[in-house]
Amino acid sequence: MHTIPLPIASATLPAENVEDLFILIQDLAAIMVEENVLLAAGLPAAVVETTDRKVALAERFDHLWSSARGRLAADQKSVRRLIAAIAELRHVADENLTRLDAARAASQRRVETAMAALRGKVGTGYSCTGTADLAARMPLYTTTLRA
């Protein structure tokens, strides 16, 4: 698991801007690490529900960055820490993209396998030619539909 250093308040920037920026980067990295663990366990990407949280944090980052970037240049210590934190976040994000791509490809293979199986059944006499044929194969559903 990758860790991002805890924030140290800067004397030249309002503490909430610097601290919030580092905490936000740490939170975003933590969500991606959590997602990577779930994807590595084989869960399909559609089951992993982290997208909304990642989007919300990215939007918050944009807001914090726009309020702090003008003053950040004066605080080289915070700049160096920010560069290191973002480099770590990029490393986690790269792994996340790789795992998401692999999960997407696995989902695609599952769909293709299911479609091939269906084509095989259709090719071996499995057909749906009318409601009588459907009723013979699915009496539970047709009983429900007639009720």
pLDDT score of 122 more than 90: no
Domain for residue 86, yes or no?
yes
Total structural domains within the chain: 1
Q: What is the pLDDT of residues 22-55, one digit of tens each?
A: 899 999 999 999 999 988 888 877 777 888 888 8
Domain for residue 147, yes or no?
no
Domain for residue 32, yes or no?
yes
pLDDT score of 97 more than 80: yes
Domain for residue 136, yes or no?
no
Domain for residue 4, yes or no?
no
Q: What is the mean pLDDT of the chain?
A: 75
Domain for residue 6, yes or no?
no
Burial 87-115 (b: 16+ CB within 10 A, else e): ebbeebbebbeebbeebeeeeeeeeeeee
pTM: 0.64
Q: What is the pLDDT of residues 11-25, one digit of tens each?
A: 444 556 778 888 999
Domain with 60, as residue range(s), is 15-119
Domain for residue 135, yes or no?
no
Domain for residue 98, yes or no?
yes
Q: Which pLDDT score, from 0 to 100, does residue 104 have?
A: 87
CA distance 32 to 37: 9
